[in-house]
A and B are shown apart, each in its own frame.
Chain A
Amino acid sequence: EVEETLKRIQSHKGVIGTMVVNAEGIPIRTTLDNSTTVQYAGLLHQLTMKAKSTVRDIDPQNDLTFLRIRSKKHEIMVAPDKEYLLIVIQNPCE
């Protein structure tokens, strides 16, 4: 079932890579190569933590649900949770 979900996400149009990272930034499942995964995991984990703390600082009742970073080449989507992080990289333009 875990496989199914990940496969479904990976098969969307323009998706370059998908990865699941644990709360400490250590990758668990990934579709990209190791070095890229590790880099993405480490950097995005820190950024997500920062974003989460920012949101909560402003309003302690609030929480971060989704983080989307749009760059020139593609879009990085991070879905945070208590223990895990789902990172999807998509190329939106045709």
Chain B
Amino acid sequence: MISRKRSKFGAPILFSDRNASSVRDSYIECTSYPDKNFTLTQLEQDVGTQVIPEIKGVSTQTKWAFPKNASTQYYPREFSEKEKGKLAQSKELADFLNSVSTSVEIALQQNEIMNTFVDDWKGLAEEEGTFGDKSDTHLKEYQSFTDLHSPMEKMITCIAWHPTIYGLIIVSVAVRLSYEERVHFSGKLLLQPSLILFWSFADPIHPQLMLESPDDIFCFAFCPSDPNIIAGGCINGQIVLWDITAHADRIENIKAGGGRSKKATLKPMFLLEPESNKEAMYIRHCAVSSIESGHKKVITDIHWLSDTFEINRMGSVFENRNGICCQLVTCSADCTICFWDIRPQKTAITQPTEKKKEETIEIPFDVPPTFLHLDLSWKPLSKIRLSKGETSLDHCPTKLSLNEEHVIFKTQDKMLGQDKAVKSTETNPYHDLEAGMSNILKPIDDFCTKFFVGTEEGEVIYTDWKMERDPETGRFVSKKPVNLYTVHDGAIHTVQRSPFYKDIVLTIGGWNVAIWKEDVMTGPLLQTCCAPKRYTSGHWSLTRPGVFYIGREDGYIDIWDLLEKTHEPAQSQNICITMITYIKPWTYSPKQQFIAIADYYGTLHILEIPWTLSHPSLNELSSVHYYFEREVKHLEYVQQRRIIRDQEKKEMERELERKKAKVYIKTKEQMEAELRMEYENYLELEKSVLYSLGLGKVSEKTSYMDVL
């Protein structure tokens, strides 16, 4: 404790020096000592005690887990419109783009010029992923169908695969008789129903459905917008319509005949009566066309027009607002092509006749009323006669091929979509055909109204269906054909557009094949040489652009591959013993492709197309396209050479004539001159000779003569 006087606190301090050696050890100590005044003795002590259980100390090393986001939800930072606009206007952006755009454009152009990363090795190789044996190139027999119930011998005239149901093939059969025999047996034929049979893979013996028609059907087609409507062309020139909506469920769920049919198969086929065959039902037709105003002879081809356009009486093309196919085109052996409309005609004249018909005809109860308005009063919309000009003989069309252009609507799309949606919810559009009639239709301009026709004489005609006004009579007359080519030696039975190229048409007839391009008017792109056997049917392959199948009259099928050989078929395979009447391939999946071949004896063969024939090689589409382009160029070249040759020929002829004329003139004049020259020479010669002989002048001789 240090004590000091109070007055000395806070006083200014004065330091003075002091010698350190004056004190011993040179430091002054201020030691502490216990001062008795301030010592406290502890008298109380506060202590606490507690009882606790046994303590155990343990230590361990734990993993240090740092918190991590299990998931984050965020939205990106974006500029508002204003900010974007401001930035867009800024000078920096403009400068930046200016400086950067050149390099970007160089890079873009580099890519446009050439793809530097193309793997050439890969490009050369063919696709390796094959499922089947690559060496297997033959068509494998899958199944065959024959109708064993019919008493008369039948042949198959037309095949179609059901567009939606798997494994359903439909064939039309006709009796295998010539015209005279038909007339002879006409009584017997009337009793028999002419049928279209529905065959399913599941049941090779019994057809699933049988459609009845008044007479033999030679061609038929499914309506593309409704697979339950079928239109067929008869041998007598009528068109028959069926509506199988009521029986659609029968064919959709087809199971292989169970115990029910086991008993039936034990009996021989020809003992079975049609009534006991409970599986197949005869379905009567819905409507037939009018006999007087339709075709007079067999209908050879029938097509549904695309649902994107429709035609009026003059042949002008309009938009189709219905969204369904409602028009047909047929061609027949009476040299006409007719357009038909399945909607009710809006004429007041037909009303009284309709009333009459209602009284007389009783409609069977199981026939759907879809086409009742057409039955027996159906007239074609327009008729085109294929006349040969002055002569009375006309062309007899056998097959048609229309331009299947799909017209794309631009502004009307939304409306159409709505219409379609509304319609599908209500009823089947085919049951309500009158609804679409009142729409005012928009005409379509620049629609190609030309089409190819193959005739019985082997000619390919390219003609127009639009009627034009004949300037003399003022009536509408069908146009003359644009082009006519006589290429085939026999009747043409196939005129078909390639499924890959819309302007390539294949025509098969007689003993050869021709491929045409629509705009090339000079001739066919390819015309094969005559085959040893007659070709009787053909079809493009559905998946390979350069392949088509041709059936021969000896039961062989020729498979042509345009990329392999163009002078002969790539392959030939025997299918049956008789003439092949129809070929129709169909694809169900990339692995399964079938081809249906019908023969003259009424058997339908279904064969499976092997991998090699159904899968296109790499770039096959472009290679075949290139091949066609080359052929077009070749034709052009031939044309040009022809022109040049003609010119050269003319020039040569002219030269010859000129030479002849010159020589002729030359000889006439020159002959005279030469004669004169000769005569003068002779006179001179005479003079000189006489003179050399010393006989004197000629004048003397004359005087001597005078004297005499």
**What residues on B are CB-neighbors of A9 within 8 Å?**
101, 104-105, 108
- Give per-residue flags for B67-111: 1 if the beta carbon is below 8 A from chain A beta carbons, else 0: 000000000111100001001100011101111110111011101
What mask results when residues 5 to 34 of chain A are scored 1 for a CB within 8 Å of chain B, else 0? 110110011110000101011111100000
User: Can you add 4 more A-B contacts, CB < 8 Å, to A38-B76, A88-B107?
Assistant: A9-B101, A15-B108, A79-B103, A93-B115
Please encode chain B, from 471 to 482, with 1 for each CB lying within 8 Å of some chain A CB and 0 for all others: 000000000000
> Are B100 and A2 in contact, CB atoms less than 8 angstroms apart?
no
Q: Closest residue to B93 on the A side, CB-wise?
A: A2
Size category of the B interface is 20 to 34
Give the chain B neighbours of A12 by CB distance below 8 A.
Answer: 105, 108-109, 112
Q: A77-B107, A92-B115 are in contact. Are A83 and B96 (CB under 8 A)?
A: yes
Against A, the Cβ 8 Å flags (1 = close, 0 = not) of B96-135 are: 1111110111011101100101000000000000000000
Query: Pick the contact of A90 from B78, B88, B111 — CB < 8 Å?
Result: B111
Give the CA-CA distance A22 to B83 in the complex, in Å: 12
- Decide: A28 near B79, CB < 8 A? Known: A6-B97, A81-B96: yes
- Taking residues whose C-beta sits less than 8 angstroms from the other chain, chain A's interface range is 35 or more
Contacts of A24 in B (CB 8 A): 77
Could you pull out 6 A-B pairs where Cβ atoms are within 8 angstroms? A2-B93, A14-B111, A15-B108, A28-B88, A42-B76, A66-B103
Chain B residues whose CB sits within 8 angstroms of the CB of A65 once the complex forms: 103
Digitize A68-94: 1 where CB-to-B-CB distance is under 8 Å, 0 elsewhere: 101000010101010110101010110
Determine the distance from Cα of A60 to Cα of B399 in the docked complex, in whole angstroms.
Answer: 78
Q: Which of B103, B107, B115, B117 counts the most chain A CB atoms within 10 A?
A: B107
B112 and chain A: residue at smallest CB distance = A13
A1 within 8 A of B: yes
Where chain B touches its partner, the secondary structure class is helix
A88 near B84 with CB under 8 A, answer: no
Q: Nearest 4 pairs between A and B by C-beta?
A: A92-B111, A79-B100, A38-B76, A12-B108
A15 proximity list for chain B (CB < 8 A):
108
Nearest Cβ on chain B to A34's Cβ, whole angstroms? 8
Kindly report which residue of chain B lies nearest to residue A88, judged by CB atoms.
B104
By beta carbon, the residue of chain A nearest B86 is A28
Within 8 A of B (CB), among A30-45: 38, 41-42
Cα–Cα distance between A66 and B107 once the two chains are bound (Å): 9
Kindly state the separation between the CA atoms of A26 and B488 in the bound complex, as whole angstroms.
Answer: 70
Judge whether A75 and B111 touch: CB under 8 Å.
Answer: yes
Determine the distance from Cα of A42 to Cα of B108 in the docked complex, in whole angstroms.
23
Instruction: State the CA gap A27–B87 with chains docked (Å).
Output: 11
The residue in chain B whose Cβ has the minimal distance to the Cβ of A93 is B115
Residues in A whose Cβ lies below 8 Å from that of B78? 26-27, 38
CA distance in complex: A9, B102 (Å): 10
Q: Which residue of B lies closest to A6 (CB)?
A: B97
Q: Which of A14, A29, A92 contacts B88 (CB 8 A)?
A: A29
Chain B residues in 8 Å Cβ range of A1: 94
A12-B105, A68-B107 are known contacts. Are A83 and B79 too (CB-CB below 8 A)?
A: no
A77/B108 in contact, CB under 8 A: yes
Closest chain-A Cβ to B406's Cβ sits at a distance in Å of 24
A86 vs B107: C-alpha distance when bound (angstroms)? 13
Which of A13, A14, A79 sits near B104, CB closer than 8 Å?
Answer: A79
Tell me the complex Cα distance, A13–B78, Å.
Answer: 30
A84 touches B96 (CB 8 A): yes
Interface core residue of B94, B96, B107 (most chain A CB under 10 Å): B96
B697 to chain A minimum Cβ distance, whole angstroms, is 103
With A38-B76, A92-B115 known as contacts, the answer to whether A2 contacts B107 (CB < 8 A) is no
Q: Which residue of B lies closest to A41 (CB)?
A: B76
Contact A5-B101, Cβ < 8 Å, known A14-B111, A22-B87, A90-B108: yes
Check if A26 sits within 8 Å of B88, measured CB to CB.
no
Chain A residue nearest to B118 in the complex (CB): A93
List chain A residues, Cβ under 8 A from B84. Answer: 28-29
Q: Is the CB of A5 within 8 A of B98?
A: yes
Residues of A within 8 A of B98 (CB): 5
